Every structure is written in structure tokens, then in C-alpha cells.
Amino acid sequence: MKLNKHLLSAAVAMAFASSAHAAVSENNDDVMIQGFHWHSASSGDWYQQVGHQVNELSDAGFDMVWLPPASQAGSLEGYLPEQYNNLNSNYGTEQDLRDLIAALHGKGIKAIADIVINHRNGSGSWCDFVNPDWGHDAITSDDEAWGAPGSNCTGTRGAADSGGGYDAARDIDHSQFYVRDSLKTWMNTVLKGVGFDGWRYDYVKGYWGGYNGEYNNATSPYFSVGEYWTSLCYNGEGCFFGGEYPDSHRQLQIDWVDSTGGNSAVFDFTTKGILNKVLETYDYSHLTDGNGNPQGTIGAWPSRSVTFVDNHDTGPSEMCGNGQSHWPVPCDKVMQAYAYILTHPGVPSVYWAHYFDWGLGEQIKQLMQVRRDAGLHSDSSISIERAEQGLYAAYIGDKLAMKMGNKNWSPSGTGWSVTASGTDWAIWTKGDQPGDWQRTVILVEGQTESGQDMFIRGGIDHTYAANVLGRNCTETNYACAMPIRHLNLKNETTAPWKANDSYLDWYGTESGQSSAAEGSAADWTIDQWPADWGAEKTVAVDGYGVEVLNVYGAHYWMLDVEMDCSKAVDGVWFELKTYISNGPGWEADVAQSGAPYASGNHFAQCGKVNVFKRSVSEPVSIHNF
């Protein structure tokens, strides 16, 4: 679905149709990495340094590497190009570049060139263009160089700028046929000659996007993406001069893609800017638009959206606080942002500095693997369940769910398993997940009266899990919970409380679970039904009453589940405590002997029948079925 897609003029549409080539695809499952940061050019041998990481890039599963501007330039970083045809730059020699791209191709990785064609530096003066040679009419008529002190711009001017101006260099007039022809030749022979496969267009708001469409049609890139960066304001807040609210900000990007004939993607600066905001405030309501879609370009035209956390302009370089850092995601929230872009639609782009300099490579690699295993791509379906203060939760595709924020949430239904997690984020996947699912029964004697019910909570101690199991449960609570599937859904009273109860945990109501539930609901059982009580009720038929596993007496409440024993301590042990509603509340602490670690809770064994009495330390019995 695209927002307000504008029709192209007939003349432009015909020009595109003459040699149309889609430089983007639907259902694109590629992941790109920006292969440099703002300080990379200072090394002088950057191409060689990237070459040393080719095996890691391949192992991680990157499909594309966006490389820095390759041409000789009047600036260290390459963004004031002078001699387009000279590929010896501050990043290395042309041969270094050829060797790097050959190494990438050897691993099946595409090389994306940074194309800086909004503006150009003169060689030795303001307006002298060599290699390739252009006249002064290649400069837009409203460029600041005309008539400026010290400028040598004379003669026939080009046409007026078709986009925004750029003061640091001369704005190129793309309406000149010979200029466009020269750029196409450079891209097709020089850049493709060293092996480049696609294009990242710099500063595309500086000229009409139809020219990008023409360049793509003439060069048939594997992939194309434009940098259309404008100021973003946030809903509900004052909008500073020149800024756009999210809907309008997104529409500008969609309009630019339309102007290319739809054959280029665009960097999703709307999503990036909103992530900046919500990761500071935890007000995740900004992440959804009025129609329940993601607020960024991924919610409007996901196959044309390249999502990212930071890049060489917006973020730091080797460490937090250095580099450009013009518009960074909060440094301590970077992985939460990657959890978002690597699970959501669009084509994700990872920042080199985050992966290699910040020590986040293994975590990002894990998220990339989760994305692949779940079969996600640029057009994956998304259903946003919660977007509010403290919580964002969504289902993506048919077997992945994720949440961000400091509120508890877990996906509804059974079969979900936490596959990746970090501070204030978690990802669940569903399907053929590894695990050791075994029937597990808990019977706990607790005297109750009419209107009182027993609930059970449990899991593994967070400190023990961190120190002994290497499991961080403070970042994702459910990493210390026990996944369960209820086997008894026949009790009309407790069945509604069991719906969407996927974990034996310490945290209260799960997402979608009844607010009346105080944990995992147990069912009242007895060993023999008194004759004066009327018709016998049984667990097998009614969901409560006589139960064959209860040979102990009345008021033994039973939790009967399948449980993933792979999550237990040593594949065996887990803790539990009972709560009786409408009266007694929590049972007292106990001190069970033979437990794997000290705790005030009962210890049960996964895959067995576990029998306890409330507030009594030693179990009545733990035995096999």
C-alpha cells in the first residue's frame, strides 16, 4: 500500500517505459551494511580493512555492502567529488577497490557505490570541471558561485536548480543532456568496471528524482536507494521551522520514490527519527499511524524503504560521542533499535561502527539469523498490538513477535519461544522450535472456600540464572519463565483464565490473558467424591473433581501442562509458589532440602508429578507418571 501515489507526466512515464528496470524488488530479504563511518577515510587503507572482514560479513549473512564515495574529491570523506573518473581516493587505490569488490563477490555479496551527483567541486577553482570535462553551463543558474567574490564562473548558466541548494559545492544542472550522458558513462564503465553492483544516491532532495529514475534505467543496478533527509517534528509537539510532522515527512519520501518511477528505494528517515524520539521517552505511540500501520515509510511502501539505526552523518563513529552525531539514536538504546528494524518490513541497513567498533556484532548477527529463520522480507505482514507509553508489541509475518519497552508482554497462544532478547526488548518465534516438551503436573494442597481459587507462579531465580546458567533474565523476564501448554481446558471457570497463558512465570497477567488471572490457574481435585455431594465430577469430564493422579485427599489443586524442560535448571528443576484468591493470598516461604539453590519457594521437577502442601517445606512426593 502506498500513500497518495502521484502519477508521472506522460512524457516522463514514456521515457521510463522505454528502458524500465526495477532497481528494487518486492519481498526483498536482503540485509545491507554501511561499509564505513565518518572517520574511515583517515586510515588511508580503508578498502583493505574492509577486505579483512569479508569472511565475517559473509558469515553474518550480509547481502550488500554500501561503500564510501569512490572518486577523487576535495574533501577527506569524498562528499565533494572533483574527478569522477579517478578512483584513487582517501579510502585506498583503485586496485584496492577492485580487490575488495572481487573478494565480496567471491562470497556472493553485492557492492553498492555511494553516488554523489547533486554537486561537484571544481578542480583548482570554483567552476573548472575535469575528468570528465564539463562547461560552466553544468552549474545551476541559481548557484551561489555566480557573481561571488573570487568565483571564476562565467558564460552561459545552466537551468534553475530542480531541488534544494547545497552551498559547499556547485549544484549540478541535470537538465543538461551531456551532463546526464557523462554520469551514465561514469556509472556504466568506471564504477561498474571495478565491479559495483548498485547505487546509494547522496542528497537526492537537491535535484528532481526523475533523473535518478533515468540513471537507474540506463545502468540497471542490482539495488538503488536515495538519501532524502528532511527535518522531522513529532506529533503533539511544536514543529520547528522547516520541519514536517510524521505523516507529511513520510509523504515527502514517498513522493520522491514516485518521482523515480518507483525504481529506487529511499532511506526511511521517518522511522529513524521516530526511533530517536521513542527510545528517549519510551512513548511508543509515535511508532504507529492512524491506520494501525508503522508510522515510517515502511508503513506506506515497505519494499521501497531502507531502514537504519544510524549512519556516518546521523550517528557517532568508533564510540559514543565522536564522529558527526548529527541525529543519533541514544547510545544505550542502539540494540533496541536494531531489534525493531531487523524484525520489521523494509530492507534493513546495519551501521559498520555499531557492528565492528561498538562490539555489537554478535548480537546483530543473532538478530539477522532470527530474521532469516522467520522468513521475513521487505513486505512481511505486520500487526501492531500495542503502541503506548512503556510498551510496543507487534507480530511480524506468521511466526515472529517482538516487544520493546519496560512493560511486560508476551505473545498470545502457545508455541512461542524467546529467541533473542536484551535490555527492554525481546523477540519470540513460533513453529518448529527446539525444546523438550513433557507433561508436568503440580498438585498443591490448599484449603479453600467457595469463591476462592488457586493460581501458581514460578520460574527460575534471576541471579542464579545469570551467575550459573549464563541467562540474562533481568533484560527479558520470560527467559527465566517456564513455557507451558495447558492440558486441562474443560473447567468452565478456569478455562478463560488459561487462555493466552503461555508461561509459568512470576509476572502476573500475560498479554491477552484475563485480568482476573493471578498467575497460571489450577483446578480443584479430590481423590474420592462424597456420596452426599450429588453427581460425581471428574477432571477427565468436567475439568475438576476426582483425579486419578490425586491419591492424597481433598483440596489438592492441580496444574496439568506440557512444559519445555529445556528451560529448567539442569533440564529438571524449577520454582513455584501458590496464591489463593479472595482470601488467603500467597503461601509462606519454605526451605526445601535437596534443591539446586536456596529459595523460599517450592522446587518441582519438569516431566514429573509434583505434590506439595502450602507453606510446608518438604514435598509430599515427586515421582514419575
The catalytic residues are: 202, 227
Q: Which three cell numbers stand for residue 142?
A: 541559481
**Cell 547533486 belongs to residue:** 118
Rounded distance between C-alpha atoms, residue 82 and residue 542, angstroms? 82
Please enumerate in sequence order all residues whose Cβ is within 8 A of that of 182, keeping only pairs 6 or more positions apart, or say none: 132, 134
CA distance linking residue 586 with residue 577, whole number of Å: 8
Nearest Cα neighbor of 396 from 338, 336, 341, 345 is 345
Please give the distance of CA 497 from its chain centroid, rounded to a whole number.
32
Whole-angstrom distance, CA of residue 559 vs CA of residue 488 = 8
C-alpha torsion 201→202→207→210, nearest 10: 10
Cell numbers that stand for 214 in this block: 533515468
- Assign 3-class secondary structure to 119-151: EECCCCCCCCECCCCECHHHECCCCCCCCCCCC
**Adjacent-strand bridge partners of 129:** 134
- Report the distance separating Cα 391 and Cα 417, nearest Å: 19
Distances (CA, A) of 261 to 9, 21, 32, 218, 347: 10, 10, 23, 13, 19
Residues listed for the chain? 625
In this structure, what C-alpha cell is assigned to residue 182?
A: 557523462
Beta carbons within 10 angstroms of residue 573's beta carbon: 17
Give the Å distances, CA to CA, from 223 to 13, 263, 333, 520, 584.
21, 9, 29, 50, 65
The H or E element containing residue 171 is strand 170-171
Q: Are 589 and 457 in contact (CB under 8 A)?
A: no
* Beta-bridge mates of residue 561: 440, 486
Three-state secondary-structure class, residue 179: helix
Comparing CA positions, the residue from 380, 423, 376, 384 lying closest to residue 404 is: 423
